[in-house]
Amino acid sequence: MSFYGEHVLPRVTEWILDRPKIEELRRETARGLHGDVVEIGFGSGLNLPVLPPEVRRVHAVDPDRTGPRLAAERLAHSPVRVDFVGLDGRQIPLDAASMDGALSTFTMCSIPELDRALAEVHRVLKPGARLHFLEHGLSDDPELARWQRRVTPFYSPFAGGCRFDVPIAEAIARAGFELEELDARQRRGPKLGAFLYQGIARKP
Ligand SMILES: C[S@@+](CC[C@H](N)C(=O)[O-])C[C@H]1O[C@@H](n2cnc3c(N)ncnc32)[C@H](O)[C@@H]1O
């Protein structure tokens, strides 16, 4: 991985995403998680402080080697044990139907072949378990969506593969989840990346 990808990008990402407003949304998103939770795109562990006490263990999946270093303090203060189990959401080294829940925040935009990763999350969840998500993605405003599609090819190579134009809810439903809760709307912030999908999807 390049110096930029390994050292600069994770720090810039953390700086952008470590905001009180976003932490509130993270807290809402994580509500109800319990037991063993697989988190795809663990990053620098910004979700650790908002996990409910019922979460027993986080099984973290992320290719980024800098994230766990940036997370050191949060890991040290977290009552939740974190196991770094894998590097790619498209191939999660966990048994089928072994997880009580899954968490993904601001990650689905960066995973190439998102369908494969969501199929993996679906596989490792127990029947009835839920995926909690908070993601930015494709807007429901056709004009903004056009801009998201136009800008993505230029922006993505500098942003770790992040895309503005991923239809998050559609992808989750396609993987076989039932969308139980979904709040998809434009929030405050830079327009192209502020159409947020927040919700809970259940594996039937
Ligand atoms: C924008 S960051 C978000 C980090 C964290 N989830 C958060 O909310 O702060 C996107 C994360 O997705 C991770 N990622 C990229 N490709 C991935 C993949 N194939 N599988 C799992 N995680 C991936 C990146 O390394 C990065 O940590």
User: What SS3 class is residue 43?
Assistant: coil
Query: What pLDDT was estimated at residue 1?
Result: 72
Position 196 confidence tier, pLDDT thresholds 50, 70, 90: very high
Q: Is 129 exposed, middle or buried (0-12, 13-18, 19+ CB in 10 A)?
A: buried
CATH tag for 3-202 (out of 3.40.50.150, 3.40.50.720, 3.40.50.300, 3.40.630.30): 3.40.50.150
CA of 42 to the centre of ligand 1 (A): 6
User: What SS3 class is residue 121?
Assistant: helix
Residue 9 DSSP symbol: H
Whose Cα sits closest to atom 25 in ligand 1? 64
Whose Cα sits closest to atom 14 in ligand 1? 41
Q: Which residues 6+ apart lie within 8 Å of 60 measured at CB?
A: 39, 42, 68, 82, 83, 84, 85
d(CA 130, CA 144): 30
Whose Cα sits closest to atom 5 in ligand 1? 43
Residues within 6 Å of ligand 1 by CB: 13, 17, 40-41, 43, 46, 61-64, 67, 88-90, 105-107, 110-111, 160
Q: What percent of the chain has pLDDT over 70?
A: 100
> What's the farthest any 2 CA atoms get from each other in the chain?
45
Position 2 confidence tier, pLDDT thresholds 50, 70, 90: confident
Task: Choose one of 7, 12, 107 to mutate for the ligand 1 pocket test, by most ligand atoms within 8 angstroms of C-beta.
Answer: 107
- Residue 192 · residue 164 · CB < 8 Å: yes
- Residue 164 · residue 194 · CB < 8 Å: no
Query: What pLDDT was estimated at residue 18?
Result: 94
Mean of per-residue pLDDT scores for the chain: 97
Chain centroid offset of residue 127 CA = 21
Query: What pLDDT was estimated at residue 7?
Result: 85
Query: For 134-181, what is each residue's pLDDT tens digit?
Result: 999 999 999 999 999 999 999 999 999 999 999 999 999 999 999 999
pTM above 0.95, yes or no: yes
Q: Is the pLDDT of residue 6 over 90?
A: no
Alpha helices in the chain (DSSP H): 3, 9-17, 20-30, 67-70, 72-77, 114-124, 142-155, 168-174
Query: For 90-126, what is each residue's pLDDT tens digit?
Result: 999 999 999 999 999 999 999 999 999 999 999 999 9
CA of 60 to the centre of ligand 1 (A): 10
Domain ranges of the chain: 3-202
Q: Is the pLDDT of residue 57 over 80?
A: yes
Query: What pLDDT was estimated at residue 21?
Result: 96
